Amino acid sequence: MIPILSFSEIIELILKVLIFPGLAFPLLFAMIVIWFERKFLARIMLRIGPLHVGPLNRTGLFQPIADFLKLIQKEIIVPDNAYKILYNAAPIIASIVASMSVAFIPYAPKPDGGYWMIYYTPWSLLVILAIFTARPFIMVGAGWASNSKYCTLGAIRAALQLLAYEVPIALSLVSIVIMSRTFDLAKIVEAQSSIWFIILQPIGFIVILIAMMAELSRRPFDIPLAEQEVVFGWPTEYTGTQFALVMVSEYFDLCAVTSLITVLFLGGWSGPAIPILNDVSPILSGVFWFLLKMAILTVIIIMGRGIYPRLRIDQLLDAGWTLLIPLAIIQIIITLFTAQWWIPLLGGV
Amino acid sequence: MLEKIGKSLMNIKLLRKIFNWGRAWSLWSVHLETGCCGPEDMARACARFDTERFGTLPFPTLRECDLIFVTGFVTKKMAKRLKLAYEQMPEPKYVIAIGHCSISGGLWWDSYSVVQGVDEILPVDVYVPGCPPRPEAWIQGIRMLQEKIAKEGLKK
Amino acid sequence: MTSMEEKVVESIKTRFPEDIIEAKVQRKNRVSISVRSDKIYDVGLFLRDELGFNHITSVSGVDYIDTKEFEVIYNVWAIDGKVLVSLRTKIPRDNPTLKSLIKVWEGAFYHERETWEMFGIKFEGHPNLSLLLLPEDWDGPPPLRKDFLLPDTPQEKLEEKIKRAGGQ
Amino acid sequence: MSIMKLSMGPQHPITGHFRFILDVDGDLVLKLEPDIGYTHRGIEKLAEKRTYLQNLPLIERVNSYCDSVGTMLGYLEAIEELMGLEVPERAKYLRVIAAELNRIASHLYAACLFSVATGLETMLMWPINDRELILDLLEKLTGQRITYTYPTIGGVRFDMSEGFKEEALKRLDYLEKRTEDYYKMLLWNHTFQIRAKNVGILKPSDAIRLGIVGPNLRASGVKADVRKDEPYEVYDRFDFSIPTGKNGDSYDRLEVRFKEVEQSINILRQAIKDIPKGPIKKWAPPIVPKGEVYTRVEAARGEFGYYIVADGTMKPYRLKMSPPSFRNLIALPYLCRNVPLADVPVIYISLDLIPMDVDR
């Protein structure tokens, strides 16, 4: 049965789906992050980065737009030996899947109860975990379907990498769930209204940050995309628009991951109310804090590319199984013993 | 069908200009070094000269590249690979010939294994002379190519 | 006290009195030994094992077209003795074969392959004599032979080039 | 078990002008077969057609890449030995200054390539930025950025300009300080260490057996440097040491290069201090007397050998080059057996092979 929505609810839904956190937000996020990444890394590397592109003089702010315009003009080449259906579908699926996880993340509480999110479900944490797990399969599928040696190698590496980060992520989520006693992301945020989980579970935060960087294939864990070894990994053969979709999907993923870590460890929207924003709508204030935390996490994740060399796949697997998993288990044990003191202090639930 | 729509859209002058702008300012270059100008290729992409300012970024895979720098002489053995790499790049694509050797054979005019000028195998858009040309000259070559692209498909 | 160079010349002369055509000290740190081509392997082994010439420096050929001979020169450096020996041998130009010395100096692998490619000198016992530097469809004579001539004028005149490109 | 033939290059982000044919099993490289010759121009043949003086720019382009002076010195040494020509003192010092500056530039280039191979792009940019400073100095001295044709038969072409000494000393001071940053950023970076240490170990006995030269040989612990063994130019007047490595792995090969940069700075300071006044060039006849000569010099990548047969005309009868990269090439297939695919770029770059140099 479809519930009948009032006019204001329809407006709200359109806003959510198309503007924030729906379609426009991840795209804008991707664009800004691409620009910021190039500029920021260039500054680390004693370069200037994009400079002359775009009307805003000497910022190069329009560089991603120029890249995007160029990519959609390019000829689309499908390799002769490729398994065409999967090859053509993979970028689309990747971007859809990547943007899907944003729908389950609460960005701010509404003043009249409920949360500013596209789809509310009490199992949102599990859903997002499931979505994240789908991504390596697309990578493997696309790499296999390209039927190119470098793509296949990249796909194999992506599959291997999955083994390194998936378990630590799941384990460190366990301690969050123990503490907050719910799978509902909104409830998890509310539990942190007095103390953020990053203070209670610093080890868990580090584990999940590292594991998520591996999931995103950011340096030092960009092993499936290692350009010096496997050219560009699984998307090597993609051209033009398809490649644009692949790239954008990566940044969608970055958006989802930073949102998730913000929700889990950094207290989501919690923060002192900003008077000017609060006057317009209390939602904006929450969103502001949320975005600020996301930005900080994004900078941390991007910085990896400037200061670390890439690890080898066996080193990553070693680190995953001998370092991250024990650390996550230690965090679980600590949480189990200390939860009785902390839980009464937590808000919500 | 889609192609037709695309072509008719491209006839609109404003759209054409916008798309040309996008192409001109995002020339990703292939990592294929053919001759001695290789280190200057690195110098122009790296810290001091940094062609990323103009949107020219060295890119690992040639499937997304638009620009191929023929860095110096092309041997007969390399010529086949160069042509193959050029053919693998998706349209639209551009070639800049760097250095005397790639323009006319240069110092190797009587060599048994050097192609006398890269224009025998690839259509060259911009020639940058020098042995090797300074990174500033590379940048000028890129700028000239950008001007050329900006005029593409537009009546004078 | 005899210097290292003289010691090398002396010992090689006493060890192979028959096969050494000439052995002399060229200057400080340089010794030149020319041997008969069928004994080069033994001399090489002796140089390596007894005199400590362990570091292969280069293998090169010279085409003496007037006397119809190739000269093959192994330049070997002794890291401890600090002497470079040029072990040279002459082989007929119409049947250029020589026993490969890669069993003596393993580093000569690519050098010998290059010499084969550039002069057509066959090294017996070399595992992989295939084209190294030349294009894979090379069908001319080995390029460093003196009878392989390079063009004296540019290979294509500029006017022809412009004409072919359709210009004026 | 299935073995995949993987062709790496020449269009590949790391291989430069080479092509490697790899036998890959999963992520493990069983065998590597280098396919070279993509930059073969036949310099040895062309040199027979040109006069000794015309050969200078030709020879330089064997490794105009980054070490042009070091490449040319061997050729000039050979000709001058045949002629019995004594080069003026000042020219010798200027040659040493140019060669050492070039060595620094070349080693910085090697360091930045190394960091690219491990994926650390920041350390690609930093050394190359400082390399520009050295290139500026060389430009001030010689008038070009990377192809100088600076030394010529009988001396050098230009004298150092005014203010060069002060500028050079200032930049060397800066570079010395800057090296500390490199150590922090690259050599002491834990992630870098686990990538580079114990990768591609070359034992001293193997290194000598295979004929490895230059920093690669010294990284294996063999103290061999032409500058000490048979000093050419004025290297016997300087006080410097030969850095050697312990394990002979990729990390040591890089570390030795960094230490050599320090030694080069050391030599440069002494050379700039001691340089005598006088002429910079001596007239040399165009005809070289009949004879044969083999000379060795220490170029940045290792020992560069020239074998010249002169027949008493203006052109060499035979000119054989034995460039360091060609001699180091054999280490690549030797080290790349049963290594992970990710180690292949590290080993390849750590050997600092320059395709121009290999192919000629």
Contacts with C134 from chain B: Cβ below 8 Å: 77, 113
pLDDT for res C43: 81
Q: Is D344 a member of any domain? A: no
The alpha carbon of residue C137 is apart from the nearest alpha carbon of chain B, in Å, by 9
pLDDT for res A347: 65
Please report, for the domain that includes residue B120, its CATH number: 3.40.50.12280
Query: How many Å separate Cα D220 from the centre of its chain?
Result: 17
- Flag whether residue D146 sits within 8 Å of chain B, measured between CB atoms: yes
Q: CB neighbours of C134 closer than 8 A, spacing ≥ 6?
A: B77, B113, C117, C143, D37, D40
Q: Is D339 a member of any domain? A: no
Q: Is B86 a member of any domain? A: yes
Q: Is A343 left (phi over 0), alpha (psi -120 to 50) or beta?
A: alpha
pTM of the model: 0.88
pLDDT for res C17: 76
Q: Do B110 and C150 touch (CB under 8 A)?
A: yes
Q: Is D63 a member of any domain? A: yes
Contacts with C143 from chain B: Cβ below 8 Å: 112
Nearest to D75 by CA among D230, D288, D260: D288
pLDDT for res C166: 61
Number of domains in chain B: 1
Q: What is the mean pLDDT of chain C?
A: 80
Q: Kindly indicate the confidence band of residue A252, based on its pLDDT and cuts at 50, 70 and 90.
A: confident
Domains in chain C with CATH codes: 4-108 (3.30.460.80)
pLDDT at C167 over 60: no
Distance CA A96, CA D299 (A): 56
Q: Is B53 a member of any domain? A: yes
Cβ-nearest to D6 among A41, A47, A149 = A149
Residues of chain C whose C-beta is under 8 A from some C-beta in B?
A: 134-136, 140, 143, 148, 150-152, 154-156, 161, 165
Cβ-nearest to A75 among B21, B60, B90 = B90
- Flag whether residue A147 sits within 8 Å of chain D, measured between CB atoms: no
Query: Does chain C touch chain A (at least 3 C-beta pairs within 8 Å)?
Result: no
The alpha carbon of residue C155 is apart from the nearest alpha carbon of chain B, in Å, by 7
Number of domains in chain D: 1
Q: Do D49 and B110 touch (CB under 8 A)?
A: yes
Q: Do B22 and A238 touch (CB under 8 A)?
A: no
What is the domain range of residue D278?
41-327
The alpha carbon of residue D318 is apart from the nearest alpha carbon of chain C, in Å, by 7
Q: Is B43 a member of any domain? A: yes
Q: How many CB pairs under 8 A join B and D?
A: 91
pLDDT at A348 over 80: no
Closest alpha carbon within chain A to D6: A149
Q: Is D17 a member of any domain? A: no
Number of domains in chain A: 1
Contacts with D195 from chain A: Cβ below 8 Å: 309-312, 315
Q: Is D29 a member of any domain? A: no
- Flag whether residue C162 sits within 8 Å of chain D, measured between CB atoms: no
pLDDT for res A132: 85
Q: Do D125 and A45 touch (CB under 8 A)?
A: yes
pLDDT for res C164: 64
Please report, for the domain that includes residue D64, its CATH number: 1.10.645.10
Q: Do D147 and B75 touch (CB under 8 A)?
A: no
Peptide bond into D10 cis (omega under 30): yes
Q: Do D322 and C57 touch (CB under 8 A)?
A: yes
Distances (CA, A) of A80 to A67, A77, A145, A237, A245: 27, 9, 11, 11, 21
Distance CA A44, CA A51 (A): 15
Q: Is D307 a member of any domain? A: yes
Q: Do C161 and B117 touch (CB under 8 A)?
A: yes
Distance CA D32, CA D29 (A): 7
pLDDT (tens, 9 = 90+) of chain D, 360 residues, equals: 578 888 887 888 887 788 888 888 877 888 888 888 888 888 888 888 888 888 888 888 887 667 888 888 888 888 888 888 888 888 888 888 888 888 888 888 888 888 888 888 888 888 888 888 888 888 888 888 888 888 888 888 888 888 888 888 888 888 888 888 888 888 888 888 888 888 888 888 888 888 888 888 888 888 888 888 888 888 888 888 888 888 888 888 888 888 888 888 888 888 888 888 888 888 888 888 888 888 888 888 888 888 888 888 888 888 888 888 888 888 888 888 888 888 888 888 888 888 888 887
The alpha carbon of residue C60 is apart from the nearest alpha carbon of chain D, in Å, by 7
Contacts with C62 from chain D: Cβ below 8 Å: 309, 317-318
Distance CA C1, CA D112 (A): 49
- Flag whether residue A210 sits within 8 Å of chain D, measured between CB atoms: no
Q: Is A214 a member of any domain? A: yes
Q: Which candidate in D20, D21, D118, D346 is best for mutational testing of the A interface (most A CBs within 10 A)?
A: D118
Q: Are A180 and D79 in contact (CB under 8 A)?
A: no
Contacts with C29 from chain D: Cβ below 8 Å: 230
pLDDT for res C127: 84
Distances (CA, A) of A82 to A150, A151, B63, C44, D202: 13, 11, 15, 55, 41
* pLDDT tens digit sequence for B4-33: 887 777 777 888 888 888 888 888 888 888
The alpha carbon of residue D331 is apart from the nearest alpha carbon of chain B, in Å, by 23
Q: How many CB pairs under 8 A join A and B?
A: 94
Q: Do D125 and A46 touch (CB under 8 A)?
A: yes
- Flag whether residue B81 sits within 8 Å of chain C, measured between CB atoms: no
Q: Is B139 a member of any domain? A: yes
First to last CA, chain A: 30
Q: Do A228 and D14 touch (CB under 8 A)?
A: yes
ipTM of this complex: 0.85
Contacts with B35 from chain D: Cβ below 8 Å: 39, 356
Q: CB neighbours of D52 closer than 8 A, spacing ≥ 6?
A: D79, D153, D286, D288, D314, D315, D316
Contacts with C152 from chain B: Cβ below 8 Å: 110
- What are the E-state strand segments in chain D? 4-8, 19-25, 28-35, 151-152, 155-156, 291-299, 302-310, 316-322, 339-340
- Flag whether residue A305 sits within 8 Å of chain D, measured between CB atoms: yes
Cβ-nearest to C135 among B105, B110, B113 = B113
The alpha carbon of residue A110 is apart from the nearest alpha carbon of chain B, in Å, by 41
Nearest to D68 by CA among D160, D148, D137, D155: D148
Q: Is D2 a member of any domain? A: no
Q: Are A208 and A200 in contact (CB under 8 A)?
A: no
Q: Which candidate in D7, D12, D343 is best for mutational testing of the A interface (most A CBs within 10 A)?
A: D12
Q: Kindly indicate the confidence band of residue A106, based on its pLDDT and cuts at 50, 70 and 90.
A: confident
Q: Do A66 and B47 touch (CB under 8 A)?
A: no
B136: exposed, middle or buried (C-beta count within 10 Å: 0-12, 13-18, 19+)? exposed
pLDDT for res C11: 80
- What is the full DSSP assignment across chain C? ---HHHHHHHHHHHH-TTTEEEEEEEETTEEEEEE-GGGHHHHHHHHHHTT---EEEEEEEEEETTTTEEEEEEEEEETTTTEEEEEEEEEESSS-EEE--TTT-TTHHHHHHHHHHHH--EEET-S----SSS-TT--S--TTSTTS---SS-SS-HHHHHHHTT--
The alpha carbon of residue C168 is apart from the nearest alpha carbon of chain D, in Å, by 31
Q: Give CB contacts under 8 A, 24+ apart, made by B80-87.
A: B81/B32, B81/D10, B81/D11, B81/D19, B81/D38, B82/B32, B82/B34, B82/B118, B82/B121, B82/B122, B83/B121, B83/B122, B85/B30, B85/B32, B85/D11, B86/B122
Closest alpha carbon within chain B to A42: B47
- Flag whether residue C45 sits within 8 Å of chain D, measured between CB atoms: no
Return the structure tokens found at D196. Answer: 């580079």
Cβ-nearest to D322 among C58, C143, C144 = C58
Q: Is A247 a member of any domain? A: yes
What is the domain range of residue B118?
34-150
Q: Is A140 a member of any domain? A: yes
pLDDT for res C102: 82
Distance CA C35, CA A177 (A): 84
Distances (CA, A) of A110 to A106, A120, A186, A274, B100: 10, 13, 11, 16, 68
- Flag whether residue A12 sits within 8 Å of chain D, measured between CB atoms: no
Q: D31: which strand partners?
A: D23
A293: exposed, middle or buried (C-beta count within 10 Å: 0-12, 13-18, 19+)? buried
pLDDT at B112 over 70: yes
Nearest to D340 by CA among D220, D198, D225: D198
As a whole number of Å, the CA-based R_g of chain B is: 16
Cβ-nearest to C134 among B109, B113, B117 = B113
Q: Do A309 and D341 touch (CB under 8 A)?
A: no
* pLDDT tens digit sequence for A37-70: 888 888 888 888 888 887 767 777 888 888 888 8
Q: Are C70 and D286 in contact (CB under 8 A)?
A: no
Contacts with A237 from chain B: Cβ below 8 Å: 61, 63
pLDDT at B3 over 80: no
pLDDT at A193 over 60: yes
Q: Kindly indicate the confidence band of residue C39, based on its pLDDT and cuts at 50, 70 and 90.
A: confident
Q: Which candidate in B80, B108, B110 is best for mutational testing of the C interface (most C CBs within 10 A)?
A: B110
Tell me the angle at which helices A124-146 and A149-180 cross, rounded to the nearest 10 degrees: 170
Closest alpha carbon within chain A to B10: A73
Q: Is A95 a member of any domain? A: yes
